[in-house]
Structure 1
């Protein structure tokens, strides 16, 4: 893969603001952004320094000058547009949750591997120096023998029309913020759980609050809680 990539963004997302700046700082090129609203597209491109805009996602994906695609769309759109990007020969950076099922991940791998395309989930915390320091402390035994761990991520989602309140759009606390807890625990503990269980408080058909338990074997357990309806931040 080239060390300097020409990036295309699917949509003018708020979460893409910081990422656009990071990409520029790393020396990459912000080639284009695809937004149906031409006025919004022009404003977003001007603010972040994109070279051009596209009126549709397909138009961006069909551009041979785009090397890699960032997909920050709503959760239920992660798979179809990520698959389409890979089929167009683009490397892929997709927002969390990467996909909504293991089957979708397998499908993307079947497209990406033969074409030697890189796919990645946008969990930036995994590359933060603080996590490198934490892993070093754990590896050096500074915390002693680890027997249990916990994580939490909670906030109050007040917009009743937000897609995260709807299961058909990939809503729910686990997909939105619980994934951070699970990712962090797996990274810091350096192992995969052997058994998992969870309980939830439903809001309509989504998990508004969820508490999970992870059994990593040999008596080592971890738990996490996540919520769209509670205060508390992340730990």
Structure 2
């Protein structure tokens, strides 16, 4: 069976705890190389994962002809630079979310991937879970009627000092870090529609949002509420309310087993959710897409839409010209 040889740019926490084990577990993937400027990290990577080759520089890894796909877990501000370098070396790229800092940069990356005939995917691993499959199945069934309101939250208490998550120059802040998940969840429920308007509020510290909330209004009168944060007790849940019922989705972005709840006039029922190895499923799908010459599950169209919504949210948050901070999508000419 064909396998894809992976290179990893940086020995970040998410690489060590989640994606490197996923590459090892995926049936169609193998680890070829990891690059890190830290000799202790290189040594640990070889000891833990049996990495055949380690490099001290990212450019060295990109020159490795055996590396077919690159995973990028670098700080947000570095995603575009190193994704473009990898793409131009003919490497397929799985890039951590957010793929870039704005929609224009994301579009440049997408176009580069298309021009160089390689795959590019943003790493939204939660979309590979049985939990999300069950949510989509209930929505598609029409059981809760037409969607009218969506709520989605992802926050936790950040207690690691000097983390890149709170450094503005590295693309820190809760919206970029965990808020992108509620943004994407809402967009998935809305089948890719862009909101007509949004209003945002944030609690800022040292140049990054420590808590972020927004209301988004979609065509047809649908309203969505999203929340993210680093400064309060952990919470991760979502709710979708329709004309005939609602869906309650605890642990929305996790791969754990559990249940979602569907409530209608007929009563309340539990829909069982199986445990999903979301990172391994993500790696395996991306590798299979390379081998089969197809698109992966998470599309670039969705990535671009996600970034457009983030642009709207940041514009609303930073708006000074409007007392309410409301951002409205410009009318088409």
- Establish whether TM, by shorter chain, passes 0.5: yes
For the 8 Å contact 1:32–1:45, the answer to whether it is kept is no
Give the secondary-structure state (helix, strand or coil) at the position aligned to 1:147: strand
Report the Cα distance in structure 1 between the residues aligned to 2:215 and 2:97, rounded to whole angstroms: 21
Tell me which residue corresponds to 1:233: 235
Give the secondary-structure state (helix, strand or coil) at the position aligned to 2:13: coil
Report the Cα distance in structure 2 between the residues aligned to 1:34 and 1:135, rounded to whole angstroms: 38
Give the secondary-structure state (helix, strand or coil) at the position aligned to 1:89: coil
Shift of 1:3: 5.5
TM-score by length of 2: 0.67
Tell me which residue corresponds to 1:95: 96
Report the Cα distance in structure 1 between the residues aligned to 2:56 and 2:203, rounded to whole angstroms: 40
For the 8 Å contact 2:83–2:93, the answer to whether it is kept is yes
Report the Cα distance in structure 1 between the residues aligned to 2:43 and 2:222, rounded to whole angstroms: 52
Shift of 1:142: 2.1
Deviations 1:138-195 (A, max 9, x none): 1101223221010011111123312222211101111011001101111133232232
For the 8 Å contact 1:167–1:205, the answer to whether it is kept is yes
Q: Which has the larger radius of gyration?
A: 2
| Structure 1 unmatched runs, 5+ | none
Report the Cα distance in structure 1 between the residues aligned to 2:110 and 2:192, rounded to whole angstroms: 22
For the 8 Å contact 1:69–1:90, the answer to whether it is kept is yes
Tell me which residue corresponds to 2:199: 197
Report the Cα distance in structure 2 between the residues aligned to 1:231 and 1:39, rounded to whole angstroms: 34
Q: Greater relative contact order (Cα 8 A, min sep 6): structure 1 or 2?
A: 2
What is the aligned residue count? 234
RMSD: 1.5
Report the Cα distance in structure 1 between the residues aligned to 2:109 and 2:135, rounded to whole angstroms: 32
Give the secondary-structure state (helix, strand or coil) at the position aligned to 1:15: helix
Rate the CA distance shift 1:194–1:49 in 2: closer, same or farther, 3 A.
Answer: farther
Tell me which residue corresponds to 1:131: 132
Tell me which residue corresponds to 1:8: 7
Tell me which residue corresponds to 1:148: 149
TM-score by length of 1: 0.94
Tell me which residue corresponds to 1:186: 187
Deviations 1:72-98 (A, max 9, x none): 011111111111111111000111111
Report the Cα distance in structure 2 between the residues aligned to 1:186 and 1:113, rounded to whole angstroms: 24
1:1-235 aligned at under 5 Å gives the runs 4-16=3-15, 17-27=17-27, 28-192=29-193, 193-235=195-237
For the 8 Å contact 1:32–1:50, the answer to whether it is kept is yes
Q: Identify the range of structure 1 (59-68 vs 207-216) with the bigger mean alpha-carbon deviation.
A: 207-216
Rate the CA distance shift 1:213–1:80 in 2: closer, same or farther, 3 A.
Answer: same
Deviations 1:88-111 (A, max 9, x none): 110001111111011111211221
Tell me which residue corresponds to 2:312: none
